[in-house]
Amino acid sequence: MATPRGAATRGPGRRSRLHRLDLRVSPYAYVAPFFLLFAAFGIFPLVYTAWVSLHDWNLLSSDNPFIGLDNYTALFADGYFWNAAFNTLSIGVLSAVPQLLLALLLAHLLNRPLRAQTLFRITLLLPNVTSVVAVVVIFSQLFGRDFGLINMVLDWLGFGRINWQAGVATSHVAIAVMIMWRWTGYNALIYLAAMQAVPKEIYEAATLDGASSLKQLWSITLPMIRPTVIFTVIVTTIGSMQIIAEPLLFGAQVSNGAAATGGTDRQFQTLALYLYEKGFRSFEFGYASAAAWVMFLLVVVVVGVNYLVVRRMRGGLDA
Amino acid sequence: MRRSHPLTYLTLVAVAFFSAFPIYWSVIVASHDNAALAEVPPPLLPGGNFFANVRRVFDTAPFALALLNSFVVAGSITVSVMFFSTLAGFAFAKLRFRGRNVLLLMTVVTMMVPTQLGIIPLYMLMIKLEWTGTMYAVIVPALVNAFGVFFMTQYLSRALPTELLEAGRIDGCSTARLFWHVVVPAARPAAAVLGMLTFMTAWNDYFWPLVVLTPDNPTVQVALSQLASGYVRDFTLGLTGTAVATLPLVLIFVLLGKQIIGGIMQGAVKG
C-alpha cells in the first residue's frame, strides 16, 4: 500500500492525519459489527455452556449450586444417553454413506455433455430448498402405516405392511431416507463443481487406453477431487451428529406427546433430541449443558476418525 | 469428447423423478380430501380441493401471521448478512491491518463448530433480554454468520482488482467512499447469491424458532409443525400447510435456480 500513503503525505496536515486515521481504523470498524454480534450470540453461549454444565441449574431455581462434574457422572450413568448416542451413529451411518456414494455417482453422470443439464441440476436441488418440517410432514405421510404410499406399494408387491415408526431399524431407515432425500443432490452439485476443474485431457487419454467410465471415476476423478471429498465428509459428519428436527417431527407425527423422546421406546431419539428433552422439556439447563459438551467432544472424535479414514484412502487410490 | 449413454439419461431421469415426486405428492394430497388417501390405487393427479384446504389451514393455525413473521425474519436477516458480510469480507480481502490473519482463521474455525452446542446459554440470554416469544430472539442472533464473511472474503479477493482500489486512493477516496463506489458494485453478484442462500436458510429454520417462540406468534415452519402434529390425523391439512409454506421458496428457486446453483458450486471450490 505504498501509493496511497505517498499520496497522503503530499496533502495538507489535517487531511493527511484524517487519511492516516482512516487507513488505520477503517479495517477494524468494518470487521467489528461481525465480531461483536458473533461474540455475543455465537462465542459467548458456546463458552458459557461449559460453566453452566458445572452447576445444578434449572429454569426456575433461584440459586444454582456448583456441583463440579456431577452432571457428567449422571450423564454417563444414564442408559438413555447411550441409547441416543447409538441411534445418532446408526442414523448417521445409514444416511451419510449411501448419500455421499450416490452423490459421487450422480456428479459423475452429470459431468459430461448432456441435454437438459440445467433442468437436471434444478430438480436435484429441489429437495434441498424444501424445509426440514415439510420433508418430515411429507415423508411421514409416505411412511404411514395405514395410508402411506410406500406401504401401499409394498402391500401390492406382496411384502406386507411395515410399521416404520415402531422398530429401531425401520425407523432409522425412514429417517435416513428423509435426510438422504434432502442432501444427496446438494452434495452431487458440490462434487460436480470440483469435477469440472479436472482437466478433460486426462479423461480423453484414459478413454484411449480403454479405461471404463467407472474405472475413470475411481482412479482419476476421486484422487483429483479428494479435498472436496474430505470437505463433504466432514460437513456431513457434523450435520449427522446434530440431527434433531427429523426425529422430533417424525415422533410428533406419529405418537403425540412422545415427540422429544423419539418414539415411545426412544427407538429413534438422537443425541441432539436428548439434549432438547433435558434442556427444553424438563429445563435442566446444567445437565443439558453437560450433554452438549459431551456431544461436542463426540463430534470432534467422529470427525477426526472420518478425516483419518478418508486421508488414508489416498494410499489405496494412488496405488 | 465422450458421448452420453442412454443409461446415463435413464438413471438421471429416475433420480430426478424421486427428487420431485414427494413434492408432487404433497400437492396431490393437498388438493384432495382425506377420504381420497385411503383409496387403492391412490389418486395420482391433483384434485379440486386445494383452495378449500388452504382456507382450512388459515382457519386452523395463525398462518397469515406466521407468513408475515417469516418474511420479516428472513428479510431482515438477509439484508443484514449481505451488508455485514460484504463489509467484513472487503476488510479481510483487501485491507491490511494487524491481526487480520488470526481473525480470519478464527472465523473459518468457528464455521466448523456446531452452533447447537450453545443453545442453552443462548436461550438463557434471551430470557434475560426478555426477547423470548418475540421476533428479536430469532432475528438478532442470525444477523451475521461466519459462512457469509468467509464467502464474501473469498469472492472479493478474487473479483475485486487491487489496482482499482489504488486508483481510488490516489484520487483521494476515503475507505468508506471506496466501499460504496467500488466494492459494493463489484460484490453484487456474490452478495446476491449469499442473499438467496441466507433467505432460504432463514425461511426454513425450525429448531431455534421452535425453542424460543410461542405457538400464538410463530414463524411459518413452527406453525406448520403444529398444524401437522395435532391430535387428529389430518394429512390433508398438514400437506396443504406444507405446500403453502414451501411454495414461496420453490417459486424463488425456479426463477433464480441457475444463480443459486452457481452460488453453491462456487462456494464449494475453496482452494
- Sorted by where each begins, the domain ranges of chain B are 61-268
Is the confidence at residue B189, as pLDDT, over 70?
A: yes
- Please give the grid coordinates belonging to residue A139: 415423508
Residues linked to residue A271 through DSSP beta bridges, in sequence order = none
When pLDDT is averaged across residues B186-205 and rounded to a whole number, the result is: 89
B268: nearest CB among A23, A228, A242: A228
Do residue A285 and residue A237 come from a single domain? Answer: yes
In a domain, A290, yes or no: yes
Q: What class, spelled out in words, does domain B61-268 have in CATH? A: mainly alpha
In a domain, A313, yes or no: yes
pLDDT by residue, tens only, chain A of 319 residues: 344 444 444 556 777 888 888 888 999 999 999 999 988 988 889 889 999 999 998 887 778 889 989 999 999 999 999 999 999 999 999 999 999 999 999 999 998 888 888 888 888 888 988 888 889 888 888 888 777 888 888 888 888 888 888 889 999 999 999 999 999 999 998 899 888 888 888 888 888 888 888 888 888 888 888 888 888 898 898 889 889 989 998 887 665 545 788 888 899 999 999 999 999 988 999 999 999 999 988 888 988 888 888 877 654 444 3
Do residue A25 and residue A169 come from a single domain? Answer: no
In a domain, A44, yes or no: no
Across the interface, do B228 and A252 touch by the CB < 8 Å criterion?
Answer: yes
Q: Is the peptide bond before B41 cis (omega within 30 degrees of 0)?
A: yes
Do residue A33 and residue A82 come from a single domain? Answer: no
- Residue of chain A with shortest Cα separation from B116: A242
User: Which CATH number characterizes residue A213's domain?
Assistant: 1.10.3720.10
Place of cell 459467548: A44
Q: Which residues contact A175 (CB under 8 A, 6 or more apart)?
A: A91, A95, A243, A246, A247, A250, A268
Q: Which domain holds residue A274?
A: 72-318
Please state, in angstroms and rounded to a whole number, the distance separating the CA atoms of residues A218 and A317: 8
Do residue A151 and residue A246 come from a single domain? Answer: yes
- pLDDT value, residue B129: 93
- In chain A, the number of structural domains is 2
**Interface mutation vs chain A, best among B5, B98, B117, B144, most A CBs within 10 Å:** B117
Please state, in angstroms and rounded to a whole number, the distance separating the CA atoms of residues B217 and B210: 11
Do residue A15 and residue A152 come from a single domain? Answer: no
Instruction: Name the pTM for this structure.
Output: 0.87
In a domain, A45, yes or no: no
Assess contact for A63 and A273: CB atoms under 8 A.
no
Q: Which residues of A fall within a CB distance of 8 Å from B258? A: 118, 122
In a domain, A46, yes or no: no
State the smallest CA–CA distance between residue B173 and chain A in angstroms.
9
Assess contact for B242 and B30: CB atoms under 8 A.
yes
Place of cell 431419539: A269
Is the confidence at residue B106, as pLDDT, over 80?
A: yes
Please state, in angstroms and rounded to a whole number, the distance separating the CA atoms of residues B259 and A169: 39
Across the interface, do A120 and B16 touch by the CB < 8 Å criterion?
Answer: yes
Assess: ipTM above 0.90: no
Helix (H) or strand (E) holding B45: none
A31: nearest CB among B91, B166, B246: B91
Q: B54: how many CB neighbours lie within 10 A of its CB? A: 17
Assess contact for A154 and A160: CB atoms under 8 A.
yes
Please state, in angstroms and rounded to a whole number, the distance separating the CA atoms of residues B39 and B25: 15
> Would you mind telling me the total number of residues written for chain A in this entry?
319
- Please give the grid coordinates belonging to residue A194: 470440483
More confident residue, B85 or B38: B85
More confident residue, B262 or A239: A239
Chain centroid to Cα A130, Å, comes to: 16
% of chain B residues with pLDDT over 90: 39
Do residue A90 and residue A26 come from a single domain? Answer: no
For A66, list phi and psi in degrees, rounded to 5.
Answer: -75, 125
Do residue A14 and residue A95 come from a single domain? Answer: no
> Would you mind telling me the total number of residues written for chain B in this entry?
271
From chain A residues 16-35, the ones with a CB under 8 A of any chain B CB are: 19, 22-24, 26-28, 30-31, 33-35
Please state, in angstroms and rounded to a whole number, the distance separating the CA atoms of residues B37 and A138: 13
Which has the closest alpha carbon to B178: A4, A15, A36?
A4
Do residue A87 and residue A208 come from a single domain? Answer: yes
